[in-house]
Structure 1
């Protein structure tokens, strides 16, 4: 078996439909659609706050903006799986999951989307810079997710102030074959990132060693 055939065989374990080197044929499979389901499990923080957060729709790097699952197979090589897709755009999906997560955190009085008529005290923006399965190490495939997050404080008749900025990265092993394995690992990546984002927001101006449950007020 040549190196090219071996590489394609390994990729076919994850990418649907299966592609066999040298034959150029593509088996017909029905499309599969997926949604990330990262959900906050902890109890809300017991914080009395009047802060109102608007979560704007996230942006995403063009390489990962499509619905098809993306796999990295080499230093400069990526593949998009036409037959395995997210049901909605990744940017919209991750924005909604972030909004729901922070709404349940108890750190804000309200968490809004951009359609709300309520004036926010703060705005959350983010850019998704990585969202793919890394198959370069055939013995240890990984799901990769990276986001740059910014928190802005509103000011009457003035430009908002940047009060928080952080890059979050998560890498989780893909434990099962097929697109389901990648989606499950990406879901864990998102949960890791949102958990760390929540902790950082809760600890802002409250001390790095203070736990979320012990914070009596959130000053942003």
Structure 2
């Protein structure tokens, strides 16, 4: 009889323990982050005033084809935050942000992501890396991307540049990663705009 009671108590304790582990306790909420570039100063040029630009869908290296924010602690580590995610996949956000800011620059007659007719120029992007890098007590945000600006009628590349920079962060927080990557991306777009002079 004592053996039976002990078995029942053990079974009840195990059941309560599993209930607590499987959602009985409080869980951390998922947080989402986006890329946002502050107002960029556009060069004064009328060279493209009557031209239409299409920002094509960006591509991204396979390892980064996910919404999870990537962080690394060495050249050999490649890890993801489980509950800190990009609001949408990085290649979509980067193309959308580029389109918005090129449109606001007023340098082109129109800037579209889905061309309603044949555009005069295209901007293409390939994201090589977008990540947080933790090196001992120092944290960095890294954004490596290739931007290509070309004529659509001749496929001639007018301008192309590969950027790959790390910028120091004050803390290891996904929001800080998003802010720092946004600043890097803003600098890259600004360099592209200056090339149009």
Query: TM-score per shorter chain, which class?
Result: 0.7 to 0.9
1:184 to 2:184 alignment: no
Task: Give the 5 Å matches for 1:84-103.
Answer: 84-103=84-103
Greater helix share, structure number: 2
RMSD: 1.8
Residue 150 of structure 1 is aligned with which of 148, 151, 170?
148
Q: 4+ residue stretches of structure 1 with deviation over 4 A?
A: none
Q: Give the equivalent residue in structure 2 for 1:141.
A: 139
How many residues are matched? 171
Structure 1: segments with no counterpart, 5+ residues:
1-26, 204-220
Q: Give the equivalent residue in structure 2 for 1:33.
A: 32
Secondary structure of the residue aligned to 2:138 is coil
Secondary structure of the residue aligned to 2:100 is helix
Change (3 A) 1:187 1:35: same
TM-score with structure 2 length normalisation?
0.80
Per the TM alignment, residue 127 of structure 1 is displaced from its structure 2 partner at its CA by 0.3
Secondary structure of the residue aligned to 1:92 is helix
Task: Give the 5 Å matches for 1:24-173.
Answer: 28-42=27-41, 45=44, 47=46, 49-114=49-114, 116-135=115-134, 137-155=135-153, 160-173=155-168
Per the TM alignment, residue 46 of structure 1 is displaced from its structure 2 partner at its CA by 5.1
* Contact 1:58 1:92 (C-alpha < 8 Å) held by counterparts: yes
Per the TM alignment, residue 102 of structure 1 is displaced from its structure 2 partner at its CA by 1.1
